[in-house]
Amino acid sequence: MKLEKYYENQNILHINTTPHRAYYIPKGKNLESRCLSLNSTKYDFDSWKFKFYNNPYEVNDNFTKGELEDFDTIPVPSSLNMLGYDKHLYANVKGPIPFIPPYVPDENPTGAYVREFHMTEEKLKFRNFLNFEGVDSAFYVWLNGEFVGYSQVAHATSEFEITKYLKLSNNVLSVLVLKYSDGTFLEDQDKFRMFGIFRDVYILQRPYEYIRDFTVRQTLSDDFKQVYINVGIIWNNEQRNLNIELFDKGELVYSGPSIAFTVENPKLWSAEEPNLYALKLITPDEMIELEIGFKKVEIKNSILYLNGQNIKLKGTNRHDSNAYTGATISKEQLIADLKLMKEHNINAIRTSHYPNSPWAYELYSKFGFYVMAEADIETHNTCEIYGGGHVYNNNVQFADDKTFGMLCHDPSYYNALLDRIQACVIREKNSPCVFMYSLGNESGYGPNLEKCAQWIKDFDKNALIHYESSVYQKIGYKNDITNIDVYSRMYISPDQVRNYCEKDVVEKPILLCEYSHAMGNSNGDLERYYETMQEFDTYAGGFIWEWNDHAIYMGKEINGKDKFYYGGNFNDFPNAGNFCLDGLIHPDRKPKTNLFEFKQVHRPIRAVLSDGKIMLTNHQDFVNVKDYYTIEIAQMINNEEVKVQIYKDFDLKARETKELKFEYTQDSSSNNYILIKYFTKEATLILPAHYELGFDQILLSKVPTPIHETEMGNTIELTISDTKIVASNNKFIATFDKLKCTLENFVKENVSYLTKPLDYNTFRAPTDNDRKIIADWRKAGYDRTCIKMLNTNASSSKSGAKIEFEFLITAVFLQAIMEVKAVYNIKNNGDIAVDIHAKKDPIFPELPRFGVRLFLDKNFQNVEYTAYGPYESYIDKHNYCYYGTFKDTVSGMYEDYIVPQEHGSRYGAEYLKVCNGKNKIEVQNDNNFCFNVSNFTQEQLNTTSHNFKLKKENFVTLCIDYKNAGIGSSSCGQAKLYEPYAVTDTDIDFSFNLFMS
C-alpha cells in the first residue's frame, strides 16, 4: 500500500482533525446518549477485525474499503504487544530506532483495523465526530473507502468530523496504525514501547450549530467568600440560545443566560475536600455537563499556595502501565489504583510523561488529587547520539548541554512541540484537579519551549508552568526561564534541597518532580525529605518515581509463581533491563514496603512526647481533625493493652498543635509504650470508615527480654588439635574450626543446630539501590572474603570455657580488609556470649553490612523477635514499623521483589528466637542488632534474575548483623547513601548472646 508519508513530515501533524478543545461528552436535552462507543464489549468482542504487518507496504490497497484477508478479531482499545503482535521492548533513554528525525525505519510495524457500525436515520440527522483518545503513534483513517484524515501524538485526543462520509445502515471504518512516526522522536518516555489503538474510540452526534469549545474562568475574592465565573463559549458557527445552570450536590445555585455570574460563599476544591459543582450548558439541541471546582493556585514570595494556604505535594509519578493490559487502562483499574493512593496518603499525581485518558482527570478531581498535567514530550534520546550528551550536575542553576535540547532549538519542530502542549492544556483547562502544567520531560530546553511557555501564559495568565529540563542550557545560548514558575529538580538529596531553601534569595519554590527512586527494596530516607518539606515553606514537595513496576505478565512457573518479565527478557534491543521495576507497588498491584513507608511518613497527624505531654500536630493543609479523623490511643505494657481511649471529636485545625490529654502509667520495669492510631471518621467516596491512615509510637521504656535459663552441665572439657577445638560436657558439644576461626557445629542433647560453620559476613545481595556502589564492594572483595588465622587460644574454668581467635578478613589478590578478634565465652549449659572486635582498613569502602551468618536446619521456620516490625525494617526505612514483639515465619518474612535482592531485615532488634517446634535458637543483644532469616542465601539472591527462579535451600540462613546498611534510593540520581545510614565504621565492637535449647 502506498501511503503519503505524513508520518515522516514534522510539519504535517494532523489532517482533517478538529481543533483541540476541552473534554466533554454531550447529551440530548432529555439526557439521551449522543455517544456511540466503538469500543469492544463482552457483547461484541469480535467487532474489530485486525491484521498485523511488518510495514505499511505489505498492506493491500483494498484495506481502505475494509477488506482484510486472514484477519484476527481483537479487543479495542488494547495494546497490540499484549496481544502477541510485535515484540515487547522496554527502553529508557536510548530510543528504539535510529536517531535520524524525521525519518523512521521502513520496517515499521503496522496494524490494520476494520470496524463496522450501524447508523440510523435519526443519527444521520446530526453532525458526527469520530474521536480517538489515544493511538500510538500515528494513524490514517478511512470511512466507507473515503480518506478521512491522519493524526499523530500518542497520548492525546484526535477528533475527525465524519458527517459527509456516513451512510444509512452499515458503515465500514478502516484505521491504519504505524508504530513509528516523526512523533516517536518526541515520545522517548521511560516505558515499554507499545502501539495500537489503546484508548477509547467513539462517535459523537452534535447538532448543526453547537458549542465547539468552552473555557470556565474563575476569580476568587481575596477573602474567598465570592467567586466570579465567566464561561467563554466558542460556537462552531452561529451562536444559539444558551442557558447555564450550576448545581451544588443537586441544589440549584445559578440559572440564566449570562455567561458571567457570581457564587456566594463557594465551597472550595482541594485534594483534602474535593468539592465539585455541576455546570450545565444547555442549548436548544443538546446539553453539556461537567464538574467544576473553585480554587486559586498562586505563588507568592516563592511559596506555592492553594486557596490562600501553603500546600505540600505528597505525590507520585504515574504511567499508564499494567502487567496484564499494557498501556490500556480501564476506569476500574484506575479507580483501584487511586484507592490505593488515598489509602497511603498520596495527594498528588504527575501524569508522567504525557496526558492521561481525559476521563482520568474527572476521577482525579472527584477523589481529590493535585495533578501536574504533563504534555506528551520527551526527547531524552537526544543526549545519546554519538558525540552528544549533557552535563548532569545537581548543584548549579544551569547545566551545560551539547545535544540534549537540540529539538528545542530546531525551528522545524516548534509546531509539533506547541501542538502537544496545546493538546494537553486546552483539553484539561477546566479540570479542577490540575494545579500546574508541565512542558514535558527530559528534553533539554531552548527557544521552542520558551515560546510554548509564553503561549500558555497568553492563553491563561494565571497558569503555573513546570519544566525540570529548563536547567539545561545549550552552550552559547542563555535560557529564558521567566515563564517557568518553579525550580524543579530530580533526585537531589534533602541536604541539597535545604541548601536551596537557605539561600539569601529564593526566587522560586523548589519542587522535586522525581525523587526517591522506588526501584526494588527502596525509598529509604523519606523522613528527611518530609522533615525538610515541613521546615521550609519554599519547598513545595514532590513526586516519587514512580507509582508501579512496569512488567509483562507471562503466566505461571511450574512452581505456581507468577512470571513477570522486564527489559531484556524479550531479546529486545536497546533495553534498560529491570530499570522499569521502579514502583511503589508490584506489577500485580500489591504494595511494596516502599509504599508502607511513604504512607507512614506522610500520615495526616503526628504525635510527640514533650515534657511528659502528648502533643498532636495536624499535618493537613485544610481540614480539622474533628471533622475527618478518629484517634485511638492505647498504652501497651509487655504487649498487653492496659488502657485504651478513643477521640472522635478532637478539635485540631490544619497545621495546629495541641495537647492530647491521656493519663498513662509510668513503668520503667517493663516494655512500655503508647500507640496512637489515626482513622477515617466516616466513609469517603474512595475510603471506608475507620480506615487506618497512620500511627505514632511513643516508647516510654524498654527492658531486655528474659531468657529461660537451662540447667547447667558439668565442667567443660577442651580437646584441641591442629585444626579443631572441641568444647564439651554432658550437655553439648561445640566444635570450632581453628583455621576458619569460627564455630563449626553445635550439638546439644543430640540435636545438631548448624548445618554449616558460622560465617563472618561483609556482603549482602545487592539491592537495586546498591547498583552504583556494588562495583566498589566487589572490587574490595566483600563478596568473596576468606579468613587468615593469626592466633587461637582456648581455656576453661569451672563456670565455662573461652575460645579466642585473632584473624584477618581478606580476599584473593587483596590486602587485609580488617583485623578481627572473636571471643566465644561458653557457659556450662551451652549458652555462648560472642564478642567481636574488628578494625577495618579505612582505605576500603563502606561495608554493605557486618555480622555473622548461621546456617540452621531447614525446619527452623518459626520466628519470634523484639525489634521494629512487623515488616522489613532498616536504619533509614522503618517509620512504618513499630517497636514490639512479633511472631512470624521465615517464609512470611520474605519480601518478594521481582529481581531478588536484600530484603526482610529487622532493625533495632534486641531479641530473636528461631525454632522448629521443639528446639530453638535465641539471640539477645541489649545494644540492638539487625537480623535476617531466609530460605535463600545472599549468593542465590545475587545471581538469580527473577523471583520465580528461586529455589529454597536445604537450610535456613540466619544473619546477625552489627549493622546492615541503609536502603536509600540511589538507583537513579543520588550516587551515595546518606553517611549516617552507611556502615562506615573502622572500629567495630559487636556482642551478642546465643542460646540453644
Contact yes or no for 439/452 (Cβ under 8 A): yes
Q: Tell me the average pLDDT of the chain.
A: 96
Contact yes or no for 761/959 (Cβ under 8 A): yes
Task: Tell me 702's DSSP state.
Answer: -
HEC sequence for 320-371: CCECCCECCCCHHHHHHHHHHHHHCCCCEEECCCCCCCHHHHHHHHHHCCEE
Task: Tell me 96's DSSP state.
Answer: S
Q: Categorise residue 121: left if φ over 0, alpha if ψ from -120 to 50, beta otherwise.
A: alpha
Sign of the alpha-carbon torsion through 663, 669, 670, 672: positive
Q: What is the mean pLDDT of residues 888-908?
A: 98
Q: What is the mean pLDDT of residues 910-934?
A: 95
Tens of pLDDT, residue by residue over 415-472, are 999 999 999 999 999 999 999 999 999 999 999 999 999 999 999 999 999 999 999 9
Q: What is the mean pLDDT of residues 230-249?
A: 96
Tens of pLDDT, residue by residue over 87-121, are 999 999 999 999 999 999 999 999 999 999 999 99
- State how far the Cα of 519 lies from the Cα of 578, in Å rounded to an integer: 9
Contact yes or no for 434/428 (Cβ under 8 A): yes
- State how far the Cα of 407 lies from the Cα of 430, in Å rounded to an integer: 30
Tens of pLDDT, residue by residue over 859-878, are 999 999 999 999 999 999 99
- State how far the Cα of 73 lies from the Cα of 171, in Å rounded to an integer: 18
Q: Categorise residue 2: left if φ over 0, alpha if ψ from -120 to 50, beta otherwise.
A: beta
Sign of the alpha-carbon torsion through 482, 486, 489, 494: positive
Note the pLDDT of residue 709: 78
3-state SS assignment for residue 58:
helix
Note the pLDDT of residue 906: 98
- C-alpha atoms less than 13 angstroms from C-alpha of 705 in its C-beta half-sphere: 22
Q: Which residues, including other chains, have CB under 8 Å from residue 199's CB and lie 6 or more apart? A: 77, 132, 133, 134, 135, 328, 357
Tens of pLDDT, residue by residue over 514-558, are 999 999 999 999 999 999 999 999 999 999 999 999 999 999 999
Note the pLDDT of residue 710: 84
The percentage of the chain sitting over the pLDDT mark of 90, rounded to a whole number, equals 95
Confidence of residue 395 (pLDDT cuts 50, 70, 90): low
How would you label 647-678 residue by residue, b for 16+ Cβ within 10 Å and e otherwise? beebebeeeeeeebebebeeeeebbbbbbbbb
Tell me which residues are annotated as active site: 442, 514
Chain centroid, CA 145 distance in Å: 46
**Helices vs. strands in the chain: H and E counts, helices first:** 12, 61
3-state SS assignment for residue 790:
strand
pLDDT for residue 726 is more than 70 = yes
- State how far the Cα of 184 lies from the Cα of 214, in Å rounded to an integer: 31
Tens of pLDDT, residue by residue over 471-511, are 999 989 999 999 999 999 999 999 999 999 999 999 999 99
- CA nearest to 408, candidates 456, 375, 443: 443
Determine the residue type at 465. Answer: I
pLDDT for residue 393 is more than 90 = no
pLDDT for residue 564 is more than 70 = yes
Q: Give phi and psi for 708, each to the nearest 5.
A: -70, 115
- State how far the Cα of 886 lies from the Cα of 864, in Å rounded to an integer: 6
CA distances to 739, 741, 822 from 787, rounded to whole Å, are 8, 8, 12
Grid cell listed for 122: 435519526
Burial group, residue 124, by CB count within 10 angstroms (0-12, 13-18, 19+) = middle
Note the pLDDT of residue 706: 82
Contact yes or no for 267/275 (Cβ under 8 A): yes
- State how far the Cα of 319 lies from the Cα of 546, in Å rounded to an integer: 8
- State how far the Cα of 943 lies from the Cα of 899, in Å rounded to an integer: 10
Determine the residue type at 366. Answer: K
- State how far the Cα of 503 lies from the Cα of 507, in Å rounded to an integer: 9
- State how far the Cα of 371 lies from the Cα of 376, in Å rounded to an integer: 15
Confidence of residue 398 (pLDDT cuts 50, 70, 90): confident
pLDDT for residue 657 is more than 90 = yes
Note the pLDDT of residue 684: 96
Confidence of residue 394 (pLDDT cuts 50, 70, 90): low
- C-alpha atoms less than 13 angstroms from C-alpha of 552 in its C-beta half-sphere: 23
Q: What is the mean pLDDT of residues 333-354?
A: 98
CA triple 583-585-591, angle to 5 deg: 150
Note the pLDDT of residue 928: 92
Q: Categorise residue 7: left if φ over 0, alpha if ψ from -120 to 50, beta otherwise.
A: alpha
- State how far the Cα of 874 lies from the Cα of 601, in Å rounded to an integer: 15
What ranges in 510-562 are assigned the alpha helix state H? 526-535
Note the pLDDT of residue 757: 98
Note the pLDDT of residue 302: 98
